[in-house]
Amino acid sequence: MLTDIEIADQAQMLPIEEIAAKVGLKKDQLEQYGPYKAKVTTPIKPVEGKKHKLVLVTAINPTPAGEGKSTVLVGLADAMNQLGHQTTIAMREPSMGPVFGIKGGATGGGYSQVIPMEDINLHFTGDLHALTSANNTLAALIDNYIMRDNELDLDPRRIIWRRVEDVNDRALRNVVTGLGGVMQGIPRETGFDITAASELMAILCLSKDLMDLKRRVGQIVVGYTRAKKPVTVKELGFADAITILLKDAIKPNLVQTLDHTPAFVHGGPFANIAHGCNSVLATQTSLALSDYTVTEAGFGADLGAEKFLDIKRLTLGKTPDAVVVVATIRALKYNGGVALADLKNEDLDALKQGFVNLKRHVQNIQNYGLPVVVAINHFVSDTDAEVQTLADLCAEMGVKAVVADAWAKGGQGTQDLAKTVVELADQPADFKPLYSLDLPIAEKVKAVATKIYGAKDVAFSKKAEKQLKSFTQNGWDGLPVCIAKTQYSFSDDQTALGAPSDFTFHIREFVPKLGAGFIVALSGTMLTMPGLGKTPAAVNMTIDENGVIKGLF
Amino acid sequence: MLTDIEIADQAQMLPIEEIAAKVGLKKDQLEQYGPYKAKVTTPIKPVEGKKHKLVLVTAINPTPAGEGKSTVLVGLADAMNQLGHQTTIAMREPSMGPVFGIKGGATGGGYSQVIPMEDINLHFTGDLHALTSANNTLAALIDNYIMRDNELDLDPRRIIWRRVEDVNDRALRNVVTGLGGVMQGIPRETGFDITAASELMAILCLSKDLMDLKRRVGQIVVGYTRAKKPVTVKELGFADAITILLKDAIKPNLVQTLDHTPAFVHGGPFANIAHGCNSVLATQTSLALSDYTVTEAGFGADLGAEKFLDIKRLTLGKTPDAVVVVATIRALKYNGGVALADLKNEDLDALKQGFVNLKRHVQNIQNYGLPVVVAINHFVSDTDAEVQTLADLCAEMGVKAVVADAWAKGGQGTQDLAKTVVELADQPADFKPLYSLDLPIAEKVKAVATKIYGAKDVAFSKKAEKQLKSFTQNGWDGLPVCIAKTQYSFSDDQTALGAPSDFTFHIREFVPKLGAGFIVALSGTMLTMPGLGKTPAAVNMTIDENGVIKGLF
């Protein structure tokens, strides 16, 4: 059996101009990065006569190995094109840190991949590097500011702007900087996050254009004065310089699938510690040019879809016409209590028990008023009895479940799903928002926790309560909330699988992200910088004299 | 008067394929990064019938504003082409940190620039970002290694691999990482350098091909065991993963000058804290394709030219056919004791006094057996009497001095220099190395300090002396030395202008760079991470809705 990178290496790619031509983009609207990658100059006007339909692909709570959401997304888009429904992809670009850690890449798998996979999984067109350097240039400017005259009296103890890296580096989570004496700055405690969790990443993904990005960068609160007044990037005079560093990164990237479906791969915030959706600009570009756009939102629907519908929707100005919830037999058995090592064995009872996880995700989407279909992402170890059991369980709750074999068969294995998706998307939907923006921050957190997660109530730490009071004083109540939570459970306890209820959801701390336009609520012990495992993927990678790479997933 | 970026913005750029075609490169040998930048697939075979001559541009000790070495280089190459001598440029790519600090960009100036200047000065083709992430991925792997089983017993107190950023961030010079408890790693004192000073940058610049790069990465010593045995990247098993991250960065970048001269702009180590030369691969590619290649080496000839001739030469396998020493009237007056604020006033006495600086640089080049010409980089404030005085002083010592007006007139202002350079380069030269590699490390440092810097002797700190003993035990004596020293003086005291002698040169510490293949000797208080000034350039930058940038130099 071929590995992902071997399949990708054997692919016959089309020149990116040909992919662009499929959606009517001309050469002068492209900035090429080699023959198979390009950035697209925006804005792109909506093409008349196109349907401009949006399909959102999300998932159940995953096992640590992931449930192949990107794989199903790619296979689905290829299948829709094969069936004559003109479809384009809008998805996130991978973070490089996890590629060298445990997770591997994020470009689909098997015969449903976006390519060139090794470029996309590594530096790609430099978007994350531009974000890293913009973020850290701002950090250096701030530390330089407090070392100099510090006219605004920015309090070194109250700086909330952290540095970032696109590396899984736990040793940088908590650091003391500015050591070494008078000329090396002012010592203070701070830390690094992964770039995908940064506010600049969220800003890049939510900005409508370069000037909107500049406005948002200006609104970033970097810290507080000794009198606890928030200090913004605009007040410090750094907004233009930081925007200059992002002038190319804001342009959507165009690549292709193995089957030559155009794919806008742009913006990559994680969904557990950030808002988890690809860029508004990429999604809008795809919508403008196509009958159908297939997009995704990270991890399970409790994180990704919720944030798509409650945050990204606000600037995108468009709700999905259909939602696909990806489930695997293995993850449902995992949610039903089976150990990771035993997931290959048939277990109908565990499947039935774990089904509650899928059920709640589906109901949540239905509560938003959106049409939904379940995609059963097929694994070799799935038995016929298991597949039939799952289909029956779905039928009982009135939702269609379709087997998708995107990994082994590409679009050919995903055509049944494609037909169902097109039917759903072509019917009218009636979207109902989860909460009103007028609610206080705490009520918005409660709305997500009780209605989506199934929590009984929410407990705020003393610190969080104190923060909420100052946020009200600062006039920040009207913003949506972005909850940082484990992807493995509906709750804030990653071992509570299935569909836990009757639990209290804990908020440890808030982080205001005025540039992104939301308030982050940190639950449980969520970390904003991943670590490397005992045997990092890096150890098994090789490259030879022809540049052939092995061990990259 | 137009600013550099205004002149660059008004330029009519040719598509990069046309620039490539001038030197016989075909489209399939290019990877385009937008319409005006490309990476070149190497190796490139030497074209038969070409002269393959190499011209090295270096300078006297500069004022803090710089003496326009890059500007003269670009003007010279344009002039040589205008006169029918087929010429290509091989120069360094800028570091982004200083662009936002005080220095501004590094792409020439006025009517002698490489373009697109704002791209080249910012992210360019991502080389420095690739280096940063490779460097820091290695750092994370090392910290993860010591937190896990640490089979090799790598001593957390003896890790010498530091993290890097392409940002001027003094607060990161000295940091404590790994704080926060058991799961956040092992606390230790470390720091960040600027990417341009990193060993990976030196490796990128000195590697002959990707496999040579992998071999060198494997040889990097990251630290020592408790028994003080050096530990390499290869022993840790990380060499392939780090090489994968540099697979594109190693390819030379092709751009053009305002006058459409092809320019390979690749690799950017600083010359004060690193070896200061562009990549061997870019220089070799340029040499292969051209009659004349004009290249540069950072800051004054005491740093840049010395390192070109004693380090880069070893892998390049080629010595310069002619050397240009760039001097300015203002810098010579500065070296003659005139304050920065008074440099615009005529002062023939100070000029004569400061001439000793130029004289020693010229003699040093002559001692290497190389033909040399002085380029007087013309400033508006230079008086006729000053120019004549300088020309006379040069004539007295038997070296030709030619006025170059590259900034105001481009190649048109540099044709006299071009004629002299071609004459010199077409004559045979007889290169004599400064020292034999067989000498002990201390003797090599002494050779540079006494023969090039004019020092009386060299004092090694206790730490440095101890290090030398262990280096001998490790078998590292055969490597060349790379001295980190202020660019403002021949000595290690930046206030000692002119041509100081009878001074003791102080070595504080050595840093073994086994991958780069040299031993760094840190003199005086040299810092490997610059800081930002009181009013960073970032504060005065703007960008508008059309993407037009101002305040970038």
Element (H, E) at B159: strand B154-159
A210–B contact, CB cutoff 8 A = yes
Q: Which residue of A has its CA nearest to B140?
A: A169
ipTM of the complex: 0.95
Q: Using an 8 Å CB-CB cutoff, list chain B residues near A175.
A: 175-177, 179
Closest Cβ–Cβ partner in A143, A173, A547 for B180: A173
A395–B contact, CB cutoff 8 A = no
Q: Using an 8 Å CB-CB cutoff, list chain B residues near A100.
A: 137, 141, 241
Burial of residue B450, with CB atoms counted within 10 A of its CB: 0-12 exposed, 13-18 middle, 19 or more buried: middle
Which of B31, B131, B541 is most worth mutating to test chain A (most A CB atoms within 10 A of its CB)?
Answer: B541
Nearest to A188 by CA among A156, A161, A164, A162: A156
Please report the number of interchain residue pairs, chain A to chain B, with beta-carbon separation below 8 angstroms: 219
In this structure, the strands spanning B401-404 and B372-377 are parallel
Three-state SS at A93: coil
Binding-site annotation, residues of B for ATP = 63-70
- Catalytic residue check, B379: yes
Window from A96-105, B264-273, B365-374, B400-409 with minimum mean pLDDT = A96-105
Which of B5, B36, B122, B123 is most worth mutating to test chain A (most A CB atoms within 10 A of its CB)?
Answer: B123
Indicate whether B42 pLDDT > 70: yes
pLDDT tier at B2, thresholds 50, 70, 90: confident
Catalytic choice (A8, A11, A249, A271): A271
Q: Using an 8 Å CB-CB cutoff, list chain B residues near A170.
A: 140, 143-144, 147, 178, 183-185
Closest Cβ–Cβ partner in A238, A245, A536 for B141: A536
Give me the sign of the Cα torsion angle B86, B91, B93, B97: negative
Q: Using an 8 Å CB-CB cutoff, list chain A residues near B241.
A: 100, 538-539, 541
- Catalytic residue check, A485: no
How close, in Å, is residue B119 to chain A by CA atoms? 10
Q: Which 68-127 residues of chain A touch chain B by CB within 8 A?
A: 96, 100, 122-123, 126
B526–A contact, CB cutoff 8 A = no
Q: Which 529-548 residues of chain A touch chain B by CB within 8 A?
A: 531-532, 534, 536, 538-539, 541-543, 545, 547
- Cross-chain Cβ contact A543/B172 below 8 Å: no
HSE (side-chain half, CA atoms, 13 Å) at A181: 1
B133–A contact, CB cutoff 8 A = yes
In the numeric block, which tokens belong to residue B189?
């004192």
pLDDT, mean of residues B450-455: 98
DSSP code, position A277: B
Which of B27, B138, B244 is most worth mutating to test chain A (most A CB atoms within 10 A of its CB)?
Answer: B244
pLDDT tier at B80, thresholds 50, 70, 90: very high
Q: Which 268-287 residues of chain A touch chain B by CB within 8 A?
A: none
- Cross-chain Cβ contact A167/B133 below 8 Å: yes
Helices B69-82, B415-425: crossing angle, 10 deg rounding: 80
The CA distance from A553 to B241, in Å, is 13
Q: Using an 8 Å CB-CB cutoff, list chain A residues near B179.
A: 173-176, 189
B186–A contact, CB cutoff 8 A = yes
- Catalytic residue check, A299: yes
How close, in Å, is residue B133 to chain A by CA atoms? 7
A502–B contact, CB cutoff 8 A = no
Q: What pLDDT is stored for residue A459 in this prediction?
A: 98
Q: Residues B259-289: pLDDT tens digits?
A: 999 999 999 999 888 999 999 999 999 999 9
How close, in Å, is residue A315 to chain B by CA atoms? 19
Beta bridge partners of B253: B39
The answer to whether A64 is a known ligand-binding residue is yes
Q: What pLDDT is stored for residue A248 in this prediction?
A: 96
In the numeric block, which tokens belong to residue B495?
């206030």
Q: Residues B521-536: pLDDT tens digits?
A: 999 888 899 999 999 9
In the numeric block, which tokens belong to residue A273?
């510690």
- Catalytic residue check, B495: no
- Cross-chain Cβ contact A123/B248 below 8 Å: yes
Identify whether the C-beta of residue A353 lies closer than 8 Å to the C-beta of residue A84: no
How close, in Å, is residue B356 to chain A by CA atoms? 33
Q: Using an 8 Å CB-CB cutoff, list chain A residues near B184.
A: 170-171, 173-174
Indicate whether B396 pLDDT > 90: yes
Element (H, E) at A522: strand A518-523
- Catalytic residue check, B161: no
Q: Using an 8 Å CB-CB cutoff, list chain A residues near B248.
A: 123
In the numeric block, which tokens belong to residue A141?
């400017």
Catalytic choice (B37, B39, B53, B103): B103
Three-state SS at B254: strand
The CA distance from A117 to A93, in Å, is 11
- Catalytic residue check, A103: yes
Q: What pLDDT is stored for residue A128 in this prediction?
A: 98
pLDDT tier at B63, thresholds 50, 70, 90: confident
The answer to whether A306 is a known ligand-binding residue is no
In the numeric block, which tokens belong to residue A198?
């940064």
- Catalytic residue check, B395: no
A175-177 β-sheet, strand order:
A188-190, A175-177, B175-177, B188-190
The CA distance from A246 to A251, in Å, is 9
Burial of residue B502, with CB atoms counted within 10 A of its CB: 0-12 exposed, 13-18 middle, 19 or more buried: exposed
How close, in Å, is residue B215 to chain A by CA atoms? 11
- Asked if omega into A230 is within 30° of 0 (cis), the reply is no
Other Cβ atoms less than 10 A from the Cβ of B52: the count is: 18
In the numeric block, which tokens belong to residue A123?
């530096």
Closest Cβ–Cβ partner in A137, A248, A549 for B100: A137
Catalytic choice (A270, A355, A379, A490): A379
Indicate whether B553 pLDDT > 80: no
Q: What pLDDT is stored for residue A105 in this prediction?
A: 67
- Catalytic residue check, B407: yes
A35–B contact, CB cutoff 8 A = yes
Q: Which residue of B has its CA nearest to A178?
A: B171
The answer to whether A63 is a known ligand-binding residue is yes
Other Cβ atoms less than 10 A from the Cβ of B546: the count is: 8
Name which residue leads in pLDDT, B95 or A64.
B95
Which of B5, B26, B96, B141 is most worth mutating to test chain A (most A CB atoms within 10 A of its CB)?
Answer: B141
A193–B contact, CB cutoff 8 A = no
Which of B173, B186, B188, B212 is most worth mutating to test chain A (most A CB atoms within 10 A of its CB)?
Answer: B173
Q: Which long-range contacts (CB under 8 A, 24 or more apart) does B380-389 make?
A: B380/B408, B381/B329, B381/B330, B381/B343, B381/B344, B382/B329, B382/B330, B383/B346, B385/B346, B385/B348, B386/B329, B386/B346, B386/B347, B386/B348, B386/B351, B387/B329, B389/B348, B389/B351, B389/B352
Residues of chain A short of pLDDT 70, as ranges, are 103-105, 553
Indicate whether B86 pLDDT > 70: yes
Q: What pLDDT is stored for residue A398 in this prediction?
A: 96
Q: What pLDDT is stored for residue B103 in this prediction?
A: 58
The CA distance from A499 to A336, in Å, is 10
Q: Using an 8 Å CB-CB cutoff, list chain B residues near A172.
A: 140, 177
A166–B contact, CB cutoff 8 A = yes
Other Cβ atoms less than 10 A from the Cβ of B475: the count is: 8
